[in-house]
Structure 1
Amino acid sequence: MRLSMIRRYPFTSVIVLLLSAWLSAGMSTAVLAAPDPTEQLRPFVDKILGILTEETLQGEENRGKRRVKVMDVAHERFDFEEMSKRVLGSQWRQLSNSEQGQFVDLFTKLLEHAYIGKIENYSKQKVVFKGQRIKGDRAQVETELVDKEMVLPVSYIMILKGSEWMAYDIVVEGVSLIRNYMEQFREIIRKDGYASLVKQIEDKVHELEANAGKPDTTDLLIDKKRS
């Protein structure tokens, strides 16, 4: 019996060691393979700045081309559906699939005209990555827009979907883009209903399209005379 135990012991030890090595290797691979939000965001920012500084895309006559290219890149790293869900809150679940799709398209257009166009003002600033915080499938990447006259803090709020970190909110100097719109939309829906919200967004998009190239004095949708 002792001989049997002695013979089995080395075999058992080898199995344990092999399992330990396999688990350790698996865990190491998982850690190495885990996507990094900053490293995924960095090339996105570089692409945007590259478009804004490309010589062949300079000038007012090329504004349309620049915007198309910027939006193509924006779709690579911004989750516009997630943004739409968050700004609508509980209202999102009450919409049909078709209505949800229509709202995503409309809200994306609003963001394109109200915000994406404005980034041209920051094409000459340097982007400095300051750090990140990760908690589960959520992350916050801190950056700063820097030039000789200012330092503008910009945070990207991201969610992990598959192997990609997608941004669903931008916080500029402590002000959340999504929360800003969420509060406005909630008030409009409460007072006038969802259909009125859609109409006001459509009107705002048309206004921004008509005034393309001119500064937008406000991003608010709510008519102050009515509120």
Structure 2
Amino acid sequence: MKIFFSRVIALCLVGSVVISQGAMAANDEVNTNDPYEMIKQVSNMTFDRFKSDNTLINNDLSHLKVIVREELMPYVDYKYAAYKVMGQYLSDTTVDQRNRFVEAFEGYLVATYAQALTEYTDQKVAFDPPRDFSDEKIVEVNVQILEQGRPPIKIQFKARRLKDNTWKAFDLVAEGVSLLASKQSEISNLIRQQGIEAVITMLNDKTQQRIDRQPAKEAAAA
């Protein structure tokens, strides 16, 4: 499941986008007032940056973290996701512990997404038509990953409306399995077993791990 999610993240972030109404130019301001446009634009911008920085990436894979931080993370509600991951243990932590956990979780997401980008080859991403979201607080942006020789993978990006009426993504659901719920189960169990401080240290350690290209055998099995 971990390999599957990693591969799906890579395809969603930098897949060549197929859009019936056409994508806006990568240098246009991201429309955070429309969750559907936001997801499409961020995907396109990340893909364009991935291509333009190809030489930098080949020289140093850690540059993928720079791309993720600059092109993706401004549109991810990682604080909300971090609180969800902490679950019932959130109320047991101090303000300082919560702040440090959020920071560590953000770094962990950056490293996770950067590592996932090493698995990208040349897939396409098709977005379903948008729906009316005027009265919605949470929206699911439906996507299909199209890859020759494989059945389509159905994806949902979940985005939430903030108090200022802008939107940010907070979860990715692949074939009915939530990445957020998966991480909540994994990390909340670790908090229960080892405590919040140990988990913060673990997340920070994972953030510092080197970005490496996946072995061909592992990538093929993904």
Deviation (angstroms), 1:45: 0.7
- Gap regions ≥5 residues in structure 1: 1-33, 218-227
Residues 1:215 and 2:214 aligned together? yes
Q: Which residue does 1:77 correspond to in 2? A: 75
Output one character per residue of 1:132-157: Cα deviation in whole Å (capped at 9) or x when no partner.
56462110101122221332222111
Output one character per residue of 1:144-190: Cα deviation in whole Å (capped at 9) or x when no partner.
22221332222111101123210011112222111111101222222
Cα distance in 1 for partners of 2:72, 2:121 equals 15
Q: Which residue does 1:145 correspond to in 2? A: 145
Alpha-carbon distance change, 166 to 57 in structure 1, aligned in 2, over 3 angstroms: farther
How many positions carry a matched residue from both structures? Answer: 181
Q: Which residue does 1:122 correspond to in 2? A: 120
Deviation (angstroms), 1:83: 0.8
Cα distance in 2 for partners of 1:111, 1:202 equals 11
Moved over 3 A (4+): 55-59, 131-135, 202-206, 214-217
Cα root mean square deviation, aligned? 2.5
| One of 45, 57, 60 as aligned partner of 2:58 | 60
Q: Please say if residues 139 and 159 of structure 2, whose CA atoms lie closer than 8 Å, have aligned partners that are also in contact.
A: yes
Secondary structure of the equivalent of 1:112? helix
Structure possessing the higher relative contact order (Cα contacts under 8 Å, 6 or more residues apart): 2
Q: Which residue does 2:195 correspond to in 1? A: 193
Secondary structure of the equivalent of 2:38? helix
Alpha-carbon distance change, 59 to 193 in structure 1, aligned in 2, over 3 angstroms: closer
Map residues 1-227 of structure 1 onto 2, 5 A cutoff.
35-54=33-52, 56-57=54-55, 59-122=57-120, 124-132=122-130, 134=133, 136-150=136-150, 151-161=152-162, 162-206=164-208, 209-210=209-210, 212-215=211-214
Cα distance in 2 for partners of 1:57, 1:176 equals 34
Q: Which residue does 1:225 correspond to in 2? A: none
Deviation (angstroms), 1:78: 0.5
- Gap regions ≥5 residues in structure 2: 1-31
Normalising by structure 1, what TM-score?
0.70
Secondary structure of the equivalent of 1:63? coil
Cα distance in 1 for partners of 2:123, 2:63 equals 21
Q: Please say if residues 79 and 168 of structure 1, whose CA atoms lie closer than 8 Å, have aligned partners that are also in contact.
A: yes
Deviation (angstroms), 1:106: 0.7
1:177 alignment partner AA: L
Alpha-carbon distance change, 93 to 163 in structure 1, aligned in 2, over 3 angstroms: same
- Return the index of the structure with the highest Cα Rg: 1
Q: Which residue does 2:13 correspond to in 1? A: none
The structure whose residues are more often helix, as a share, is: 1
Cα distance in 2 for partners of 1:191, 1:66 equals 33
Q: Please say if residues 126 and 144 of structure 2, whose CA atoms lie closer than 8 Å, have aligned partners that are also in contact.
A: yes
Deviation (angstroms), 1:99: 1.8
Identity %: 19
Q: Please say if residues 118 and 214 of structure 2, whose CA atoms lie closer than 8 Å, have aligned partners that are also in contact.
A: no
